[in-house]
Amino acid sequence: MLTHEDNERITRIGPGTPMGELFRLFWIPFYLSCDLIADGQPKRIKLLNEDLVAFRDSENRVGLIANGCPHRGALLMFGRNEECGLRCVYHGWKFDVNGQIADMPAEPPTSRLKERIRAKSYPCRERNGVVWAYLGPDTVEPPPLPNLEWNLVPPENVVVTLRVQECNWLQALEGEIDSAHAPILHGRIDAKGAINEWMATRDLKPMFQCVRQEFGVSIGARRRLGNDLLYWRVNQFLLPFYSLVPPQSKFPELSGHAWVPMDDEHTLCLMFSYHPTQKLPERMRSVFLDGHNGRESGHPSRQAYVPKSQTTPYADFWTRFNPDSGFLHDYESQKTTWFSGLPGLWVQDAACQAGLQPIYDRTQENLCTTDAGIVMTRRFLLDAAADYEQRRITPPGVDDPDVMMVRAVSLTLPEGTEWLEAGRDVMRARLGADFGYQP
């Protein structure tokens, strides 16, 4: 368990908090390029507890600026996105993507206000359909974008989706680096479906070995297959908030999340699924985007979204599966078919990650042997925040983009084979290279 003090340090991510300042060292993926239209409606954004507005200007540049107009605090999300700027509807002040004032129609021509007032803004970059923001100090040059493989492969090889989840970012992250839950929570009781054929279901008592890495933590879960064979699934945690999930033999794609903190109690879940060398089959892409037989996959389906008012941060990415709806739990299906009674993979995870509270009181936990990866990841995060807060030591992944070129792996090895050594090469991502083994 964590002390109350450590729980506060690791979950709070607003300006000035230890974890928030650590996260601001990194570029943050926060939107999909296709959903920001040139001269289109601005989008209200919440990142690291800051209220922001994203827009694409007439020249296709993306801006991310404070939602409150620096004149008298009117909401810029109501602004007119026109002629290379966002114009406040209150008094017409107009801001470019850098927060500079381009026009003040109610001010006299001799006014010098344009020279000394600006809206808070953050630099944005786009790569392969994803918009990134750097919320670090404007006194330093932003580092390079991280070389994360899912954002470097060809567009036809990857699916990326967004959704909002009503819990703290750490609860969401910990759900995905926890390999013990998968064959149980996602299982069926009618002996049907691909999950019941998954090798992980043969041994529900995995043994864990966890290793600190320069990028984060490798979490190896060992299961016995019989005949002196061991099945190793190695999930990866990458600073600041990424999780990588290994492939399965029937589903040979890599996947994971960026668990981006909106505020202390809401998380933007950016999910990616990709193949390193092949186009994703259309059938797989369809399941990700439309679900399967009325159930959700690991991605939110298009039918899952329940758009909110545009005054709500990430208004287009809230879903009908939430604590207020009970995640649409179906007790009848739980009695006959699905172990959890919850309608799909990501919904099953979200229902458990949300838990009793948006920020769970971890002094009430009773951790066990299968929580070894969670314990090490928490300590890694706390140490990284302390290193930066006390000694201004930045994690290697901030300045060296290739630190993030990592893959999660699933390996079948003879007993006695060291998984870390056997997996060393295949855990490094190389653009254009296949898995290097048979998942």
* Predicted pLDDT of residue 250: 73
Structural domain harbouring 251 = 149-422
Instruction: Mark whether 284 and 330 lie in a shared domain.
Output: yes
Instruction: Mark whether 281 and 208 lie in a shared domain.
Output: yes
Q: Cα–Cα distance between 288 and 153 in angstroms, integer?
A: 18
CATH number, domain at 178? 3.90.380
Contact assessment for residue 195 and residue 187, using Cβ atoms and an 8 Å cutoff: yes
Instruction: Mark whether 171 and 129 lie in a shared domain.
Output: no
* Predicted pLDDT of residue 160: 98
Q: Cα–Cα distance between 37 and 62 in angstroms, integer?
A: 9
Provide the phi-psi class of 327: left if phi over 0, else alpha when psi is between -120 and 50, else beta. Answer: left
* Predicted pLDDT of residue 356: 83
Instruction: Mark whether 266 and 392 lie in a shared domain.
Output: yes
Instruction: Mark whether 91 and 208 lie in a shared domain.
Output: no
In a domain, 222, yes or no: yes
* Predicted pLDDT of residue 264: 98
Instruction: Mark whether 268 and 408 lie in a shared domain.
Output: yes
Mean pLDDT per 10-residue segment, the chain (439 residues): 94 97 98 98 98 98 98 96 97 96 91 91 98 92 97 98 98 93 86 56 78 98 88 96 90 93 98 96 95 95 96 97 95 91 96 92 92 96 98 97 97 93 96 92
In a domain, 4, yes or no: no
CATH number, domain at 67? 2.102.10.10
* Predicted pLDDT of residue 203: 58
In a domain, 18, yes or no: no
Q: How many domains does the chain have?
A: 2
* Predicted pLDDT of residue 294: 93
The three-point CA angle 88-93-96 to 5° equals: 90
* Predicted pLDDT of residue 193: 59
Give the relative orientation of helices 372-391 and 4-11 as an angle to the nearest 10 degrees. Answer: 70
* Predicted pLDDT of residue 363: 93
Instruction: Mark whether 214 and 292 lie in a shared domain.
Output: yes
Contacts of residue 392, Cβ cutoff 8 Å, sequence gap at least 6: none
Q: Which amino acid is at 257?
A: H
Contact assessment for residue 304 and residue 295, using Cβ atoms and an 8 Å cutoff: no
Instruction: Mark whether 216 and 292 lie in a shared domain.
Output: yes
In a domain, 168, yes or no: yes
